[in-house]
Every structure is written in C-alpha cells, then in structure tokens.
Amino acid sequence: MPNRGIAEFTLDTGKCPPWLFERMKRLGKVVAELIILREGKEGFLKKIADPVWFQALGSVSGFDWNASGLTTTLTAALKEGLKEDFKDLGIFICGGKGRTSLKTPQEILSWGEKGVLTQSLAKKLVLASKLSAKVDSSLVQDGYQIYHHTFFFTKEGKWVVVQQGMNVQTQRARRYHWLSDNLKSFTLEPHFGILAQALENKVLDLTSKQSLECQKVSLDLLSGSYQSLLKDLKILAFKGSKLHQYLRFQTSLFEEFKALKLKDVEFKYHPVLEENFYQSKYLKKILYLLTQKKPKSFTQLLLVKGVGPKTVRALALVSELIYGAKPSFEDPARYSFAVGGKDGTPYPVDRETYDELLDYLEKAARIAKLSQREERDLLRRSKSLI
C-alpha cells in the first residue's frame, strides 16, 4: 500500500512575528544544507514530502503545531532562506500562498529561461504542478479548497508538492504531500505519507483503486454523444428529487421510469446530490466540450480548461447511480500532532535556546562544507601525483 498524507489543522488568522520568521529562515537553510550534504538533494526532497518530518521541522522552528500557518510560514521561510543558494544547493522552490500559488508555473518557466532547466523539462514540471493542484481540488473532494501550493524541484527533474486546502465552515485546513519518485500515476493514489484522524463527513476519492471502474465509466460517458449524457443527467436529477421518493411507492410509474436504464444501486450517502446538475448551463457547456474532445484518460480530462469539482462529481454520480460503478467515499488519509509553538502552547518559544541551536547548526554546516572541500582538494592533488 503506497504512503499518502493529509494533515488537518485549525485555520490560523494571526501573523508570524518578524523575529521568529528570520530565525525560521536561518534554521530552514541550515537544516537543508546539512541534509543535502549528507543525503543529497533527493534525500532532502523525500523529507519534505514526509508529512510527519515536515511537521516536526515546523514545530522545531517554533511555529504552532496545530495551525494552518505552519505550512504557509515554513514553506515561505524555506523559499526565502534558500533563494540565494538555490543553484549551489540544487534545490529550487516556487509558489506559495494565495495569489503567489498561481504564479508557480511562471516561476518554474523562468528557471528554464535562466538555463537551469531545459524548456521541455520546465514544461513537464509545470504540468506536474498543475495536475497535483487539479487532483487535490477535483478528484479528492473533501470539502477543502486549495489556497496554498509550493513546488520544490531539482534541475534533474525530481520534485515535491506541498499544498494546503481550507474549509471555512469547519475552520480547518488540510495539507497534501506529493513526491515524484513515489508517483506512478497522477490519478491513482498519488500522495505520500499517512497518519489518521477520522472526519465526520465522507470524502469522494476518485484517486482510490476502488474508484477505477468509476473512472472508466466516466470516460465512457464522454466517448458517447452529448445528448445521451444529457439524458443521464436528467435521470440523475430525478433520482435525487422528492418526486423519486414518492414514485418508489407507485410501483407502475417507478418501474416504467426505471426501465429507461436506471440501475438498482443502493442509494448511500451523497453530499452533492442536492445540486441540480441538469439545470447548470456552465456544466452543460463543459460536458459538451468534453464529449467533443473525448479524453482517453482522467489525466487528459483534468487538463481540459474549465473542468473542476462539479464536472467530476456529475460524472461520478452518473457512473454510480445509473451504471453501478461506485467510487470510493473513504478519506484517503488524515492525522494530528502535539508539540508546542509561538502562541505559548505548551510553552513560549525560548529565543535564547533557539539562537544557540542556530549557531550550533550553522557551525556544523560550515564544518561539513569545509570537510567536503578538503576531501575534493585532497583527491585532486592525489590524482595530479599519479
């Protein structure tokens, strides 16, 4: 079973104090340097992709363990702390929170323009960035809207995504981690890391292996005619209506309607059935476009402009309620932590100890760099003597 990871936190409305952010930048940089020296760039990416390790780094940095701000502030501190040494360390960081997240593709392409990446590789990384965001907003429908997206990568094309979504109603956030080395498919269980904490509501998870048949039927629906799909939407609207509940007791009428093609599937929990898909002009426009394009895979489906959660929900529900291809409604992963942070839980950040730790780690990093340089010089001199 592949590792997958989603963290759940309370939304943080406060700001990180400047004195703490400056220390977080220094700590993030020195930790990155030490890990890269010891385990290489790929080793650093793997640690960032591990939700538990990432959370531990945020907690060691002094941020609130249970707040959404840990994700946004830690990734921003890493981006700021490493930006002067991106090329030397071989790790590049793009994106961030809110509008900054939307600039991720352009930031990646800019590294291609600077010669760090080939144009073809830059385009592949942009595609990975876009697809990971699309999957977590459209294929994993857990009620959290993506508002933060950070993309870590190397010039060899290895990458990690750390992104976060918010649920305004519950005042909580969730974090999603991706690792390119662990990825076999963008649309089949693509996440990295797992720990658990139950949610009250079910989640529509079309990345689950249990949803493969639903994915297939959804694509089959788009391979047919638009009028046929429109007819299915009309049946779906009827099945979720109060009229349907009434007709269940009027045997002749119900059987006559059921004979159209309605499968005898169990009507389980569907949080989106109250939506009137059949009346949505925008949805009909997108579905018409899809029946013309006829995507061959869910990856192609997600890349069509305009396709979002509602399109995917409509196809998934038609696939299940009419054709019996049930998707997964199991939450892929969730978890919680318990360490202290800046707001004094369970104790305030000890600045003196923090600074001592920074001095120690930065000194260790300088020594490690020096040792590596001495080793290279010694090896070079040895070769010249042979």
The predicted structure's pLDDT at residue 385: 47
Peptide bond between residue 346 and the one before it cis (omega within 30 degrees of 0): yes
Gap between the Cα atoms of 235 and 379, Å rounded: 75
Strand ranges for the chain from DSSP E: 6-10, 92-97, 140-141, 145-153, 159-167, 172-179, 204-205
Q: What is the pLDDT along the chain (386 residues), one digit of tens a residue?
A: 445 566 667 777 778 889 989 999 999 998 999 889 888 999 999 999 988 788 888 878 877 666 778 899 999 999 999 999 999 999 999 999 999 999 999 999 999 999 999 999 999 999 999 999 999 999 999 888 999 999 999 999 999 999 998 888 888 888 899 999 989 999 999 988 644 344 556 788 999 999 999 999 999 999 999 999 998 888 777 665 544 444 344 444 445 444 444 444 444 445 445 567 778 899 999 999 999 999 999 999 999 999 999 999 999 988 987 888 989 988 775 443 333 345 554 446 567 666 766 675 677 667 766 655 555 564 565 455 44
Q: What is the dihedral of CA 201, 204, 207, 208, to 10 degrees?
A: 70
- Within 10 Å of residue 249's Cβ, how many Cβ atoms? 8
The predicted structure's pLDDT at residue 29: 92
Phi, psi for residue 147 in degrees, rounded to 5:
-130, -5
The predicted structure's pLDDT at residue 111: 96
DSSP assignment string, 236-296: HHHHTSHHHHHHTTSHHHHHHHHTTT---------TTTTS-GGG-HHHHHHHHHHHHH--S
DSSP assignment string, 38-61: HHHHHHHHHHHH-HHHHHHHHHHT
> Going by C-beta distance under 8 Å and a sequence separation of 6 or more, which residues neighbour residue 157?
117, 121, 124, 125, 180
The predicted structure's pLDDT at residue 208: 93
Digit-coded pLDDT (tens) for 53-101: 888 888 788 776 667 788 999 999 999 999 999 999 999 999 999 999 9
The predicted structure's pLDDT at residue 172: 82
